[in-house]
Amino acid sequence: MILVAGSANLDFVVRVPHIPVPGETVLGRNLTFFPGGKGANQAVACARAGGVATDMLLALGNDWFAGPIEASLRDAGVRMHRVRVPEGRTGAAFISVSDDAENAITVAPGANNGLSAGDLPPMAPYSHLLLQLEIPMAVVTEYACAAKENGVKVVLNAAPAQGLPDDLLAAIDILIVNEGELAVVAKHNGDIASCLEHIDIPCTVVTLGHRGCCAIEGGSRVLQPGFSVQALDTTAAGDTFSGVLVAALSEGRSLVEAMQRANAAGALACTKPGAQFSIPGRNEVESFLRDGPPPRQSQIEDLRNYCGF
């Protein structure tokens, strides 16, 4: 069983021709709202796309924003450990999605900042604790250290990008980052291979968008090319990847297989709008893997060169 501890937001999404630059006003089209937040997205991905038993520790306000989030988690089969923050509004995110499927996101954390160390449930039922950085860093660190002390594997998706304290770094078993986050955590500017040399964590997985992903575990390098899809909205693709990766590892699958499944689920999430609504089911992921072509050797070589391996 997996415990996800983290953020839950209501996402307000506007489709725009392009992402505005500073000082620019862009006329958008429809405004829609979807359940989101990195923590809640990853919990849904663990349960729905990963197909494993998943609990989530989250904080919500006493407002109507909370209802759609709770319904989405419940529908995905996620069991909730809820903290109510009466004086705080449920977290919200404001997302622009461009016609080429890129996005720009601003988050108002609200009740997410109300989580505290004492809210963490007993660790005995869990094999993995999955964390992100949309709740206070001090709380993330305390949760990670508590899980580590209880023999639970600690997985951190270090997003949004920020430096990590030494206590947290020492507790992490698996780090999941994109290229920008990798550079921030490594405190190094260079190619992926050189950045990874500056991180002392048992396993680090780097997501590379349409290119796929790479990882280093115990000195061994792993490459997994991406899958080609017609992208509509990349929101939550990274969260889907993280949730499915951890779900697969919790089932005892190898890192190679877990990365392949996570890549497939993340690609499928790009083909639908919204955050949690776009996350595929486990059967969809398995059908996609079964029916799709295997990666070409040229893709693997291109990815190896891109990573500096």
Show which residues are catalytic: 239
CA distance 185 to 125: 30
For residue 75, what are the contacts with CB-CB under 8 A and spacing of at least 6?
none
Relative to beta strand 91-98, strand 103-108 is: antiparallel
Return the DSSP state at 186: H
CA distance 183 to 193: 11
- Count the helices and strands in the chain (H runs, E runs): 10, 13
Q: Report, in angstroms and rounded to the nearest whole number, the Rg of the chain calculated over CA atoms.
A: 18
Tokens of 3: 């415990």
What is the CB neighbour count within 10 angstroms for residue 23? 5
CA distance 110 to 85: 9
What is the CB neighbour count within 10 angstroms for residue 296? 10
Return the DSSP state at 50: S
Helix (H) or strand (E) holding 33: strand 31-36
For residue 140, what are the contacts with CB-CB under 8 A and spacing of at least 6?
5, 131, 132, 133, 156, 168
Cβ proximity of 308 and 191 under 8 Å: yes
Cβ proximity of 31 and 12 under 8 Å: yes
